[in-house]
Amino acid sequence: MINAIDTHFHLDLYPRPADLLADIENNRIYAIAVTNTPSVYHFTQKICENKKYVRPALGLHPELAEERYRELGQFEDLLKTTRYIGEIGLDLINRCPDSSKTAQTKVFQKIIDLCATEGNKVLTVHSRGSESEVIERIGKNYPGKVILHWYSGSLKNMELALSYGFYFSVNSSMCRSKNGRKIIQSIPDSRLLTESDGPFITNKSMVNSPLNIDHTIAHISEIVKKPSQEVSKSIYENFKAVLESKNLR
C-alpha cells in the first residue's frame, strides 16, 4: 500500500485534534499540519511531537496578516523549530482594502526572506487573486521547496511556477470546478501533490481530512485518465523528493 499524502490541512481547527492525529498516524498518512498564526503554532507543534507521519508547519495566514502583524517576531523566533512553513501567501481577492494588501505584502516578503536565509524550508503557499505576484516574490532558484496550495490562477502563471520548480497540491474542491479540472490536467505527474485543506472543505457533507484523501486521488485519476495506483505513486514519489531535497544555500 502506498501512503497517502496531505500537504495542507489545519489540524488545530478540528473539534478533536488529538483523536484525528491518532487516526492519521494509524493510517500512515503523511501530512503537513499548517497553522494560521505563530501564537497558535505551539499547540500543533506540541501534539505532533514524536509523531512519525504528521509534521507541524509554522504560518501566518494572509487574511490574518494585518491583525497579527506583530507576531512576525514570534515567527522569526520559531523558524528553527520546523522545516515546514504554512499557511503563508497573499490573498488579494476583490475588495481587499489597501491596508490589508500592504500588511500582507510586508508579512509575506519578510517570511520569504527569512526562509531563504535559513534555507531548505518546505513552503505551502496561498495565492488567491495574486498568483503572479506570489510566484515572482518567491522567484526562481528559491533555496527551498515551494508547494502552491489550491492554485486557481491562469495556466500561463502556472507554467511560470512550473519553470521555477514549484509543486501543486490539489484538493477535492478543485476536482469539482471546471477551472480546477483544467489545472489538474495541466500539472505534470512529477509536480502533483494532494491536500485536504480540512476542515475548510466539505465533500458531500463530510468534512475533508487527511483520512479521506483517497477520494481526491480517485477523482484526480478520473480527470487525468490514469489508474489511481499510478497517481498515488507519483504523489508519493513527489512528496519524497520534496522531503529529500537539500538545497541549502
Q: Is 87 annotated as a binding residue?
A: yes
Measured from the CB atom, the residue of 71 and 197 that comes closer to Zn ion is 197
How many Å is the Cα radius of gyration of the chain?
A: 17
Q: Is 219 annotated as a binding residue?
A: no
Q: How far is the CB of 91 from Zn ion (least distance, A)?
A: 11
CA–CA distance, 152 with 239 (Å, rounded to integer): 21
Q: Which of 154, 100, 103, 106 is nearest to 127 (CA)?
A: 154
Q: What is the CA angle 113-60-129, rounded to 5?
A: 85
Measured from the CB atom, the residue of 63 and 87 that comes closer to Zn ion is 87
Identify the DSSP state of 13.
G
Measured from the CB atom, the residue of 175 and 224 that comes closer to Zn ion is 175
CA–CA distance, 22 with 184 (Å, rounded to integer): 31
Query: What character string, x for contact with Zn ion (CB under 5 A) and - otherwise, covers 124-163?
Result: ----------------------------------------
Q: Is 8 annotated as a binding residue?
A: yes
Element holding 55 (H helix, E strand): strand 54-58
Q: How far is the CB of 34 from Zn ion (least distance, A)?
A: 6
Contacts of 177 (CB under 8 A, 6+ apart): none
Stretch that binds Zn ion, among 71-79, 111-119, 195-203, 226-234 (CB under 5 A): 195-203
Q: Which residue has the cell 535559513?
A: 118
Q: How far is the CB of 150 from Zn ion (least distance, A)?
A: 7
DSSP secondary structure letters along 101-167: HHHHHHHHHHHHHHHHHH--EEEEEE-TT-HHHHHHHH-TT-SEEEEEET--S-HHHHHHHHHTT-E
**Is 63 among the residues that bind Zn ion (CB under 5 A)?**
no
**Is 195 among the residues that bind Zn ion (CB under 5 A)?**
no
How many residues make contact with Zn ion (CB under 5 A)? 2
**Is 197 among the residues that bind Zn ion (CB under 5 A)?**
yes
Q: How far is the CB of 1 from Zn ion (least distance, A)?
A: 27
Binding residues: 8, 10, 87, 126, 149, 197
> What are the residues binding Zn ion (CB under 5 A)?
87, 197
Binding residues for a divalent metal cation: 8, 10, 87, 126, 149, 197
